[in-house]
């Protein structure tokens, strides 16, 4: 994929793109698990994952607000201490901490870290600082919440940050979010990637697209964005 921008993308994952929640599939390789991340490492793909904050400010790699869908548990991530959440299993696998993911990756591939904000906005900056302070690999932080993106700029200087943008946002919401976040890159929904406003933004900053789930989508978007966030049949 060739960018129309003049500057290179520091996180460029190359043709392998980013494996959405790792290279997951079925019970043996559940999403956001260390085994799914290890599988992505084996093919040399960048890794995209979701981050949630526990009640005692540990950063876990987990998508949902609670454990119902993935673990069959009613526990709410943000209302429980990490010690209590250690018993959760996604299939046979524990919920990883961000630190355990960083240790596994060890700088071998770029990381795209999506922060899920649930009434805990102001606690995120110190938690991320603690988790990332000894990591020297390439990574970027992104979120749907433009306030979080702005906080990263203020509290983690030098860390590139991105705004995740669904296609359903109105023009004024997009404008307000971009003004507040002042992102270094965008991650847009696949249905939005070909829209004129996205192509205009691409001249200003890198644009990634999520979630590519088919070979047809991969072919359609190959020249429209700078990197693909894929899963399933969207695998390169």
What's the pLDDT at 27? 86
13: CB partners within 8 A, 6+ apart:
45, 46, 109, 110, 227
Alpha carbon separation from 48 to 27, 61, 122, 188 (Å, rounded):
19, 10, 23, 14
Q: Quick one: tokens of 130?
A: 């603690």
Tell me what pLDDT residue 105 has.
98
In this predicted structure, what is the pLDDT of residue 3? 43
Q: For residue 226, how many other CB atoms are within 10 A of its CB?
A: 23
> Which tens digit of pLDDT belongs to each residue from 134-182?
999 999 999 999 999 999 999 999 999 999 999 999 999 999 999 999 9
**Which residues does the chain have with pLDDT short of 70?**
1-7
Q: Does domain 14-234 have CATH number 3.40.50.150?
A: no
For residues 219 and 223, what is the distance between their CA atoms, to the nearest angstrom?
8
Q: What is the dihedral of CA 130, 95, 30, 44, to 10 degrees?
A: 30
C-beta atoms surrounding 50 within 10 Å: 17
3-state secondary structure of 213: coil
Give residue limits of the domains in the chain: 14-234
Q: Which residues 6+ apart lie within 8 Å of 212 measured at CB?
A: 17, 190, 218, 221, 228, 229, 230, 231, 234
H helical segments located in the chain: 34-43, 68-71, 82-85, 98-105, 124-132, 146-155, 171-181, 196-202, 215-221
- In sequence order, the β-bridge partners of residue 50 are 114
């Amino acid at each position: 994929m060739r960018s129309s921008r003049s500057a290179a993308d520091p996180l460029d994952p190359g043709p392998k793109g980013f494996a959405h929640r790792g290279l997951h599939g079925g019970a043996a390789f559940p999403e956001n698990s260390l085994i799914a991340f290890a599988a992505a490492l084996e093919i040399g793909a960048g890794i995209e994952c979701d981050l949630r904050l526990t009640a005692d400010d540990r950063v876990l790699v987990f998508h949902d607000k609670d454990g119902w869908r993935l673990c069959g548990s009613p526990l709410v991530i943000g209302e429980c201490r990490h010690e209590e959440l250690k018993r959760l299993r996604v299939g046979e696998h524990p919920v990883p901490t961000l630190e355990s993911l960083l240790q596994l990756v060890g700088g071998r591939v770029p990381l795209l870290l999506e922060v899920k904000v649930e009434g805990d906005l102001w606690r995120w900056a110190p938690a991320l600082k603690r988790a990332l302070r000894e990591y020297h690999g390439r990574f970027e932080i992104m979120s749907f919440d433009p306030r979080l993106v702005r906080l990263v700029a203020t509290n983690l200087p030098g860390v590139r940050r991105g705004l995740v943008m669904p296609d359903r946002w109105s023009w004024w919401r997009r404008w307000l979010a971009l003004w507040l976040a002042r992102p270094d890159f965008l991650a847009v929904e696949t249905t939005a990637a070909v829209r004129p406003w996205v192509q205009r933004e691409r001249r200003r900053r890198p644009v990634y697209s999520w979630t590519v789930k088919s070979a047809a989508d991969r072919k359609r978007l190959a020249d429209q964005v700078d990197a693909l966030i894929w899963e399933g049949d969207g695998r390169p």
